[in-house]
Amino acid sequence: MIFRQLFDQVSGTYTYLLAIRRGGEAMILDPVIEKVDRYLQLIKELDLRLVKAVDTHLHADHVTGLGALRDRTHCITVMGEQSQVDVVSLRVAEGDKLTVEGLALDVLYTPGHTDDSYSFLMGDRVFTGDTLLIRGTGRTDFQNGDPRAQYDSIFGKLLRLPEETLVYPAHDYKGESVSTIGEEKRFNPRLQVKSIDEYVDLMNNLKLPNPKMMDVAVPANLHVGLHQEEVAKRGWALSAEQAIKFLGKPEIALVDLRETSEREKHGVIPGSLHAPYPDLAHNIAPGGKLRTLAENKEKRIVFYCAFGERSAMAVQAAQDAGIASACHIHGGIDAWKKADGALGR
């Protein structure tokens, strides 16, 4: 397995690059914008293909690398379902699996530091974001933080993992790189409380200054910029209402770019084809199934995904590959459902 812990000294952020093998798919957790060149260089050196870029939560102390990585690698951007961040193309929730080739991380919803904080369990190790730090916990005094929720996340979920589970946080300011659940249980000073009220009291009296970058980072991280708007300007977008009128028409091929788990959870547009986003380059290349549909069967390709971000990238790629009829459903199946579009399995 490839497991790299990368560090941004300015913000004290840990970024993790994960893959099962050289030459395979990779995912990156909590990338920092200033380090994107370095990540891409390493990804190239290790012969990896970046498929997913994930943020554990909305960061207040650095600008996320999600947008830049999306633009430069066309990867899928991932956050939790509570996220208000525009760039997110795949939203996960408690109990989901976060997957790339050969790896499946268990998704744990661990709010408290923020209301969109997640942890990810990968076998013998857990990525705790800013929920559980080494000998500390993430502050709970802004961004919808809630010490009570954090207590439940830590005591009710993270500390119930096997004691030997390795803890990899999103930050450290003292040079620590890894801990274990057992160590944190015993030696983390914030966790030596006798009740939830004692914890809440402790967290409410930390009196920390706001992060230096907060006024810049939070707005920048919320509005990274969408591909959908560009694609709409070029006339390659259908509203959900327009798309509903095309349902069942033989000249239209609706193409679902989502993962199987998303299809099972949120339903599919009846009669649509499944062609997951990571296989797109192959499917639109000469001889690929989508290209064949467009060329030989003269079908108009209408992509869709969860919220319209992956499908906007797919439209751009298909247009670049010469499939001039390609378009997508603006807002994805989320917009389709709001417009009362039919759903199947």
Nearest CB to Fe ion, comparing residues 130 and 256: 130
> Taking contact as CB under 5 A, which single stretch among the options 41-49, 92-100, 122-130, 235-243 is the one that binds Fe ion?
122-130
Nearest CB to Fe ion, comparing residues 107 and 321: 107
Cα distance between residue 63 and residue 11, in whole Å:
10
> Taking contact as CB under 5 A, which single stretch among the options 9-17, 23-31, 130-138, 281-289 is the one that binds Fe ion?
130-138
Cα distance between residue 199 and residue 192, in whole Å:
9
- For the chain, helix (H) and strand (E) counts, in that order, are 13, 19
> Taking contact as CB under 5 A, which single stretch among the options 92-100, 126-134, 268-276, 332-340 is the one that binds Fe ion?
126-134
130 belongs to the binding site for Fe ion (CB under 5 A): yes
Nearest approach, Cβ of residue 154 and Fe ion (Å)? 15
Nearest approach, Cβ of residue 88 and Fe ion (Å)? 16
Residue 167 token pair = 């803890």
Mark residue 212 as left, alpha or beta (left: phi above 0; alpha: psi -120 to 50; beta: remaining): alpha
Q: DSSP secondary structure string, 135-176?
A: TEE---SSTT--HHHHHHHHHHTGGGS-TT-EEEESB-SSS-
Nearest to 80 by CA among 101, 61, 49, 105: 105
Nearest approach, Cβ of residue 333 and Fe ion (Å)? 30
Residues 181, 90, 283: CA angle, nearest 5 degrees: 125
Q: Using an 8 Å Cβ cutoff, are 65 and 87 in contact?
A: no
Nearest CB to Fe ion, comparing residues 193 and 213: 213
Nearest CB to Fe ion, comparing residues 11 and 179: 11
Q: Which residues in 50-89 contact Fe ion (CB under 5 A)?
A: none
Nearest approach, Cβ of residue 169 and Fe ion (Å)? 10
Nearest approach, Cβ of residue 25 and Fe ion (Å)? 27
Nearest CB to Fe ion, comparing residues 1 and 10: 10
Nearest approach, Cβ of residue 26 and Fe ion (Å)? 23
Nearest approach, Cβ of residue 307 and Fe ion (Å)? 23
Residue 59 token pair = 């960061």
Q: How many residues bind Fe ion (CB under 5 A)?
A: 1
> Taking contact as CB under 5 A, which single stretch among the options 128-136, 158-166, 183-191, 263-271 is the one that binds Fe ion?
128-136
> Taking contact as CB under 5 A, which single stretch among the options 65-73, 125-133, 146-154, 314-322 is the one that binds Fe ion?
125-133
Output phi, psi for 174, to 5 deg: -120, 5
Q: Which residues in 188-217 contact Fe ion (CB under 5 A)?
A: none
Residue 110 token pair = 């661990």
Nearest CB to Fe ion, comparing residues 61 and 309: 61
Nearest CB to Fe ion, comparing residues 118 and 151: 118
Nearest CB to Fe ion, comparing residues 135 and 266: 135
Nearest approach, Cβ of residue 57 and Fe ion (Å)? 6
Nearest approach, Cβ of residue 171 and Fe ion (Å)? 7
Cα distance between residue 137 and residue 147, in whole Å:
10
Helices in the chain by DSSP H: which ranges?
36-45, 66-73, 147-156, 181-187, 196-204, 214-222, 227-233, 240-246, 260-266, 280-284, 289-296, 309-320, 332-338
> Taking contact as CB under 5 A, which single stretch among the options 14-22, 127-135, 185-193, 297-305 is the one that binds Fe ion?
127-135
Q: Tell me which residue has its CB nearest to Fe ion.
A: 130
Nearest CB to Fe ion, comparing residues 73 and 114: 114
Buried b (16+ CB within 10 A) or exposed e, 225-257: ebbbeebbeeebbbebeebbeeeeeeebbbbbb
Residue 258, amino acid: R
Cα distance between residue 153 and residue 145, in whole Å:
12
Binding site for Fe ion (CB under 5 A): 130
